[in-house]
């Protein structure tokens, strides 16, 4: 039976497999959540509807009771006046006096209860007028009979009981009209009570049906969520298996690449050092001009190869290495001011102007001083290389939004927009011929990016051709001290 239930969900599961794992996870979570909130919302709505219907039924029953109490009080008042008129005994007036207190209260209570029903309100106004007339008539009769009793003149109406009875029967038409209007009012309330009781019963049946439906839907949704979760778990295991295989392959390739880079660098360093030493010694010995020129070229190329090897070693050494344990609190201003003084002289040798801007306060960061200095040197070196003679370089250090910012700006040749996303890649050169002429291998910016990211920061660049380039290094700051 269980397998049959899950087989029913296979079309839904196949549709779910087209979704991403995060979307499928959201779907699995949303199914019981939606069912829960739908059930709670429906339960609250049904409960409120039942409470409202029960309130209306109780309200109508209360109106019926007040109507019966009004009619009973009116009849008791009439009976008491009749008894007093026939016998002259004042104890017959007790129901009348009690009714005088009850009738106004009942009328006022009924007016409050039916204020939301214009038809019944209008009917009650007619009843109030008739009741008032009846009470006035009874009051006149009682006062008249009391005055006769005080004068011992009770049978002054021709001493005829039949005439007295006829006199007491006056207002019977008015009383009958009042009863008829009260009965009409009560009949309408009976009709409303029947309608509201039927609606309440219908609402209870609807509630039962909806509860059964929600229980059925909740069960189906639970099975669906379980099935989708099983499918997601199987898919996750399959993806995890594939990911592990891919990671193993990537780790093997990365390990081989790093080993090759490290080995090649070490293997090249020794012969290069020997070539450099021999070439420099050859320059010290008097030789022909052509020989000297070749030796100078050997020295130049050897130095260039040495730079390349050092860069490769640097990338291999710090690839994926956590440098946090080597960090110390460093004053960025004190660290970089000597650097700019050194590079002002180098800029001068390129016929360039280097202008620096410093904050009034110290900027404290967590850093490895030598590595951070190397990153800045790479940016200054690029600025000098790619800025034509007579140009300007601006070096700025400042703090903004709790971030330390080191900015290197030049008005050099700039970088094409299509090349900006790639300039931090290893061995990437915007213009190969131009980079070779300036002595670049396309590793400086990759090294800079690696250093800055190891410090928990990032590097931004903006550039316009023939107008210049701006590099910004953004680092988390520990504090600013004046």
Helix or strand holding residue 331 (H, E)? strand 328-331
Instruction: Give this prediction's pTM.
Output: 0.43
CATH topology of domain 9-150+161-233: 1.20.120
Q: Kindly list the domain boundaries of the chain, sorted by start residue.
A: 9-150+161-233, 325-476
CATH code that applies to domain 325-476: 3.30.565.10
Q: What are phi and psi of 306, to 5 degrees?
A: -65, -40
Q: Give the pLDDT confidence score for residue 155 in this predicted structure.
A: 42
Q: How many CB atoms lie within 10 A of CB 92?
A: 17
Q: Tell me if 371 sits within 8 A of 323, measured CB to CB.
A: yes
pLDDT in tens, 175-185: 888 889 888 88
In the predicted model, is pLDDT for residue 163 greater than 60?
Answer: no
> How many Å from the N-terminal Cα to the C-terminal Cα in the chain?
77
| CA dist., res. 393 & res. 408, Å (int) | 7
Helix or strand holding residue 128 (H, E)? helix 118-150
15 vs 77, more confident: 77
| CA dist., res. 86 & res. 363, Å (int) | 114
Q: How many CB atoms lie within 10 A of CB 255?
A: 10
- DSSP string of 71-123? HHHHHHHHHHHHHHHHH--GGGGHHHHHHHHHHHHHHHHHHHHTTT-HHHHHH
Q: Give the pLDDT confidence score for residue 19 in this predicted structure.
A: 63
pLDDT in tens, 86-104: 777 888 888 888 988 998 9
The DSSP call for residue 230 is: H
3-state helix, strand, coil in the chain (%, to 5): 75, 10, 15
Q: Tell me if 172 sits within 8 A of 78, measured CB to CB.
A: no
In the predicted model, is pLDDT for residue 192 greater than 90?
Answer: no
Q: Give the pLDDT confidence score for residue 9 in this predicted structure.
A: 47
pLDDT in tens, 422-453: 888 877 777 654 444 455 567 788 889 988 99
57 vs 397, more confident: 397
Give the best-scoring range by mean pLDDT among 17-31, 59-73, 148-162: 59-73
User: Percent of the chain having pLDDT more than 70?
Assistant: 71
């Amino acid at each position: 039976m269980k397998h049959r239930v899950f087989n029913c969900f296979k079309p839904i599961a196949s549709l779910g497999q087209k979704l991403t794992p995060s979307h499928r996870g959201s779907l699995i979570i949303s199914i019981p959540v939606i069912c829960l909130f739908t059930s709670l919302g429906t339960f609250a709505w049904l409960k409120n509807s039942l409470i409202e219907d029960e309130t209306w039924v109780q309200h109508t029953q209360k109106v019926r009771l007040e109507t019966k109490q009004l009619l009973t009080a009116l009849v008791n008042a009439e009976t008491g006046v009749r008894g007093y008129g026939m016998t002259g005994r004042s104890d017959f007036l007790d129901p009348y006096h009690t009714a005088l207190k009850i009738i106004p209260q009942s009328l006022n209570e009924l007016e409050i209860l039916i204020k939301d029903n214009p038809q019944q309100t209008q009917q009650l106004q007619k009843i109030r007028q008739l009741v008032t007339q009846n009470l006035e008539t009874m009051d006149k009769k009682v006062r008249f009979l009391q005055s006769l009793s005080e004068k011992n003149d009770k049978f002054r109406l021709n001493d005829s009981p039949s005439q007295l009875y006829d006199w007491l029967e006056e207002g019977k038409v008015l009383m009958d009209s009042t009863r008829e209007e009260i009965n009409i009012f009560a009949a309408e309330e009976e009709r409303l009570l029947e309608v509201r009781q039927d609606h309440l019963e219908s609402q209870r049946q609807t509630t039962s049906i909806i509860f059964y439906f929600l229980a059925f839907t909740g069960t189906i949704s639970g099975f669906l969520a379980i099935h989708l979760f099983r499918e997601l778990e199987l898919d996750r295991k399959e993806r995890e298996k594939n990911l592990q295989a891919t990671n193993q392959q990537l780790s093997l390739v990365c390990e081989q690449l790093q080993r090759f880079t490290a080995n090649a660098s070490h293997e090249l360093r020794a012969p290069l050092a020997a070539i450099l030493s021999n070439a420099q010694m050859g320059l010290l010995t008097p030789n022909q001009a052509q020989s000297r020129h070749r030796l100078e070229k050997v020295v130049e190329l050897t130095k260039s190869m040495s730079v390349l090897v050092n860069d490769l070693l640097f990338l291999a050494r710090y690839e994926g290495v956590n440098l946090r344990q080597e960090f110390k609190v460093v004053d960025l201003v004190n660290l970089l001011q000597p650097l700019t003084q050194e590079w002002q002289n180098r800029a001068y040798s390129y016929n360039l102007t280097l202008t620096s801007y410093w904050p009034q306060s110290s900027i404290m960061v967590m850093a490895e001083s030598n590595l951070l200095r190397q990153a800045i040197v790479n940016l200054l070196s690029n600025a000098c290389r790619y800025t034509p003679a007579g140009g300007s370089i601006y070096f700025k250090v400042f703090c903004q939004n709790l971030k330390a910012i080191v900015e290197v700006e030049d008005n050099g040749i700039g970088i094409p927009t299509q090349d900006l996303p790639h300039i931090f890649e290893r061995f990437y050169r915007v213009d190969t011929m131009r980079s070779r002429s300036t002595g670049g291998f396309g590793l400086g910016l990759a090294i800079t990016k690696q250093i800055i990211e190891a410090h928990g920061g990032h590097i931004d660049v903006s550039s316009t051709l023939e107008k210049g380039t701006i590099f910004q290094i953004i680092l988390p700051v520990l504090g600013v001290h004046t």
